[in-house]
Chain A
Amino acid sequence: MLLQLNTIQEIELLFYLTATILGIQLAIFFFYRYYKIRDERLPLNMILLLFGVFYLFFIFSDFILAINRLFILDPILTEIIYKFGYVSMLLSTISLLFFISIKEFSKIINTKIAKCLIIINVIPIIVVILLPSSELFTFLIVTIIISAILIYFLIFQIKLIKTSKGIIKNRLLLIFIGTDLNIISLFFVLEIIAEFYPLNILIFMGISLLMAGLIIVLLGVNSFPAFYELKWKENLLRLLIIDQKNHASLYSYDFSELKSKHEDYKRLFSGGITGIDSILSAITKTEGEKMNKIKQADSLILLEYGTRVPLQIAYALIVKEDLDSNRFFLKTIKNQFEAFYKEILSEVDSFIGSEEQLFGSFDLIIKGLLY
């Protein structure tokens, strides 16, 4: 049975509708951003996917609770919809906790707490399903658990922001502030507060807070960069760009103070990589395939190959550990190098001997990528 709305209720509905449109767009935008860089498999990019899921459940819960309050008169139907709304709200927080429980974050926070909270979050879901939503006990359980998650989430945010740098720090700050505002807005629409309706201005404050939060998050997710693993820079040792056809080093960059034992290291390395690749291809009968990783003692050489035919350019990044972020960084270097020197690369054979002079300016790009 549908209720006929009065003017204030209609305005409230329109406010909710605006917030819902914004929320759905935001969730879609998160998924789109994730889809765009999903192939890179950087674990922290899961932030985009899981925040997308969070906002989908969150907005659904907010809207369904509003619809229930405004339209539904039948007590049984009201109860069922409330249960859907609350379960959806609690599921949204689980996606946030899933994000925090990523192994990488164990460097900054105890992720076991996140895993425990995921399990604890199941308790209010059961309570909401089994008990009437109007019970004070239900309200208390939901409030206490969400508050505990919010406190933990706040601690995590502060620690992550402190560890992050540059653009990612600014973007994370916006996403977290917006999300916090949105979570706080939840408390305004809980049924116990809604009992003061329609005179309670808290409802409108809640929706305004919700919309402000959504807009702030939208600003944060806009041009969100690839999220590298924490402390990935300390892992970098050296970069070499090799012309495999001429066995020459086009460019090199030292990320650490590490000095090579050989004076003619670059030339040896260039020839060595090409030689190893040829031998390996011969003994494994994989002539068409390219070697992409060499592990040796305490270091690792990651390899990428140029896409500009007929050039044979190899990009070698020497690192301490095999991190996905390093592979992504190497691909970015490859793309930047090929884009920046596209005109010169097509005539690289005519500039043999001047490589150092020609490509030395790539230092600027590398520094830009690092900071």
Chain B
Amino acid sequence: MLFLEFPISGDLRLPLLIMEWIFITTGFEISLIFLVRYFKQEKTLRNLQDVGYFTLFFGFSLMWFFFILGDYFVPDNIVSPFLIWRSGSARAFFLNLGYFSMIYFTMIYLLCVEKYIVFLFKKYVFTTIFLICAILFSILFFIDITITQTITYIYWSSFLFFFAIYLIKFIKKSGKNTILLFSGFFLMIFGFGLTTDALISAFGLEGRMIGAIIQLLSVVVLSYYFLTLPPFSEFDWQDKIEAVFLVNDAGICIYYKVFSERKDLVDENLISAAITSINIMLDELSETGEHQHGISVLQKKGENVIIYQGQLVSGILYTSEELNFPKVVLKDFVDKFETLYHNILIKWDGVTDIFKPAEIMAKDLFHK
């Protein structure tokens, strides 16, 4: 076993510091890309999983920032008393700040992910477990900063368990570049392991250097994977689409398409008439009592009807779950239909053949 002194000194100090700094700079940059991606999306489409990944990368980089402060720039001598503690060292203090930030940022990540995905048997199971862990960690942190490191190993093992379940679910949904995702996370875990105090004692600073390089590589691989994925809001939504209808101002169904084979609907003309009546009622319910252009959602158990009232036609979408993305797609469909057929809709002679191309449009937009 090697005896290691902190702050790190010797020939490897500077190269190691530079490598770890590059790694955390890249991590911060990637976290910001997720944040920008979140804010760049339309408000209704924003998915908190982007914020989740921002907090995960940001927390990880911030943790490493504190590790750098602790390992390179402050002494490791145990002093008694130390700030508010009976004893402690400056290094232990900064390492704890690192653990602290990672634990709480990870919890935000879990909260964001569990908002959309149910793990095990109930929503927010892992968030609750990790919140308890975080509170326990905080209590220990205020009692003795020299014993918290062991707790973090338990924390990391639990997080890995969560991540394994998450990855299996995620890969089933995204279904591509599985190797890239797995190798990214494997590299991250392996690289991080090499930088822990336990393994530095076994392999020395050379091992830590290799660990930092591997982690840098993993951050690049993972960011490439996540940033080339479509927005989180676009996963799965097409499976939930059941039928789409277009109804003109007079209440005539000008186009309809049923996507779900299981869907048993009443006659399209009845639906058109019903939707027109609902539109009139919705207009009456509004404060101005005037014709409103916008999205309305009618919800019953297991059935959602999204209505978008355009200028000349209304779009109706049947979905099995209330999702945000189909609302935007319906709006796009109606807007495009109106733009394409603007001149025809104004003086429509009742012939529906002219709307045949809408079939291709609907298939492109709503069908997988």
A343 to B341, CA, bound (A): 12
**CB contact under 8 A between A344 and B25, given known A5-B14, A7-B73, A10-B17:** no
**Which residues 331-350 of A sit at the B interface, judged by CB distance below 8 A?**
340-344, 346-347, 350
Tally A-B pairs: CB < 8 A.
55
Q: Which single member of B17, B342, B354, B361 contacts A14 (CB below 8 Å)?
A: B17
In the assembled complex, A351 has its CB within 8 A of some CB on chain B: yes
Is A344 touching B340 in the complex (CB atoms < 8 A)?
yes
A9 to chain B, nearest CB (A): 10
When distances are taken between beta carbons in the complex, the residues of chain A under 8 Å from B342 are 360-361
**Which residues 316-344 of B sit at the A interface, judged by CB distance below 8 A?**
339-344
A361 to B339, CA, bound (A): 6
In the assembled complex, B357 has its CB within 8 A of some CB on chain A: yes
When distances are taken between beta carbons in the complex, the residues of chain B under 8 Å from A346 are 357, 360
In the assembled complex, B173 has its CB within 8 A of some CB on chain A: no
When distances are taken between beta carbons in the complex, the residues of chain B under 8 Å from A364 are 339
In the assembled complex, A357 has its CB within 8 A of some CB on chain B: yes
A5 to B21, CA, bound (A): 16
In the assembled complex, A354 has its CB within 8 A of some CB on chain B: yes
Is B357 touching A344 in the complex (CB atoms < 8 A)?
yes
**CB contact under 8 A between A17 and B25, given known A10-B17, A354-B344, A364-B339:** yes
Q: Which single member of A14, A25, A342, A358 contacts B343 (CB below 8 Å)?
A: A358
Is B354 touching A343 in the complex (CB atoms < 8 A)?
no
In the assembled complex, B264 has its CB within 8 A of some CB on chain A: no
A364 to B335, CA, bound (A): 13
Is A14 touching B21 in the complex (CB atoms < 8 A)?
yes
Is B354 touching A17 in the complex (CB atoms < 8 A)?
no
The residue on A at minimum CB distance from B339 is: A361
Is B339 touching A343 in the complex (CB atoms < 8 A)?
no
A26 to chain B, nearest CB (A): 12
In the assembled complex, B84 has its CB within 8 A of some CB on chain A: no
The residue on A at minimum CB distance from B347 is: A357
Is B25 touching A358 in the complex (CB atoms < 8 A)?
no
Is B343 touching A360 in the complex (CB atoms < 8 A)?
yes
A252 to chain B, nearest CB (A): 15
Q: Mark B349-363, 1 if CB is under 8 A from A, else 0.
A: 000011011111100
8 sample A-B contacts, Cβ–Cβ < 8 Å, listed by A number: A10-B17, A14-B21, A21-B22, A340-B340, A343-B364, A350-B356, A354-B344, A364-B339
Q: B interface vs A, CB < 8 Å?
A: 14, 17-18, 21-22, 25-26, 29, 72-73, 339-344, 353-354, 356-361, 364
Known: A347-B357, A361-B339. 14 other contacts (CB 8 A): A10-B14, A13-B18, A14-B18, A17-B22, A18-B25, A343-B357, A343-B358, A343-B360, A344-B340, A347-B356, A350-B356, A357-B343, A358-B341, A360-B343
Which 6 A-B pairs rank lowest in CB-CB distance, beginning with the nearest? A343-B357, A357-B343, A343-B360, A344-B357, A343-B361, A361-B339
